[in-house]
Amino acid sequence: MESINLIATMEDVGQRLDVYLTTQLPDYSRSFFQNLIKQDHIFVGGRPAKANHRIKAADDILITIPPAREVHITPENIDLDIVYQDKDIVVINKPQGMVVHPAVGNYTGTLVNALLYHCTELSGINGEIRPGIVHRIDKDTSGLLVVAKNDFAHRSLAQQIKEKSASRVYQAIVENNFKEDSGTVKANIGRHPVERKKMAVVNSGRIAVTHYKVLERFGIYNLLELSLETGRTHQIRVHMSYIGHPILGDPLYGSHNQKFTLKGQALHAVKLVLDHPRTGERMTFFAPLPDYFEKLIEILRIRSKNN
């Protein structure tokens, strides 16, 4: 039985409990939490909760998740682009198309399967399914992420992410030319009210802030640099779509009429900055754009010059 304790903040006030839980723990669905509530596995202030409970500031929420069916995660000899590694952390340049950790429908071929083969030790804080995983990147987003090899490193990295002292910088190709050279999107993100696999800009969501800068223009397409003040699920993809500049190739938030044969969104984490958990050294890592991304830029440059 896994126990998770959450303390609501002022940002969360007024949300239904089941909606709040899906924003806090996006690996689980709203119906999953509703079932837990019916089974008295969720308590607010020490009392069994109701799905329509409206969150109050400082609500103390305890979730107990019954054991899932036993799943054996097999180490797999999958090539990894390891940017850096020591006894505490490993920094990976994740390829597009790789799922970070096992879940329903993806119990093999994940980053975790590969890590279990390449690393003898990983932190156990996130359990058997997600050993070492401190933060994630979407399946079809590529780029840098850091993995913790022990619980000491995991706690340090998680705290850095929470305090925003650790950060990532992304590059993306988006549709529709920006009038300005830079800007900020500040719009709440939560679960889509109808399409439950999607996130959306909704008033009841959690605050989300994305900064962007135009690096290069290719007619109706722009190459952007993006950085986040918050780390909401699908944040960059949702915010760019919301302001009318969906990421090229995005199958969930992008245009239905895709003009390029892409296997996912053109979004790559190019830079990762963190303090080493043990030494405190400020460390910066870079990951070059993948080949498909570079080729796409060249195609767009040629097209924009010919138009």
Q: What is the largest CA-CA distance in the chain?
A: 67
Is the pLDDT reported for residue 41 higher than 90?
yes
Helical residues (DSSP H) of 39-118, grouped into ranges = 111-118
* pLDDT computed for residue 2 by the predictor: 74
Write down the residue that tokens 């970070």 correspond to.
100
* pLDDT computed for residue 62 by the predictor: 95
- Annotate 229-297 with DSSP letters as a single string: SS--TTHHHHHHHHTT-PBTT-TTTS-SS-SS--SS--EEEEEEEEE-TTT--EEEEE-PPPHHHHHHH
- State pLDDT tens for residues 203-228: 988 999 999 999 999 999 999 999 99
Pair 249, 299: CB distance under 8 Å? no
The more confidently predicted of residues 166 and 162 is 166
Nearest to 132 by CA among 118, 156, 149: 149
Q: Which domains does the chain have, with CATH numbers?
A: 2-65 (3.10.290.10), 82-163 (3.30.2350.10), 169-269+293-306 (3.30.2350.10)
Show which residues are catalytic.
Answer: 138
Helix (H, G, I), strand (E, B) or coil at 120: coil
Write down the residue that tokens 């919301």 correspond to.
242
Nearest to 267 by CA among 303, 229, 228: 228
Is the pLDDT reported for residue 91 higher than 60?
yes
Q: How large is the average pLDDT for residues 180-189? A: 97
Residue type, 84: Y
166-185 burial, b if ≥16 CB within 10 A, otherwise e?
Answer: bbbbbbbbbbeebeeeeeeb
In this prediction, residue 71 has a pLDDT band, given cuts at 50, 70 and 90, of: low
pTM higher than 0.85? no
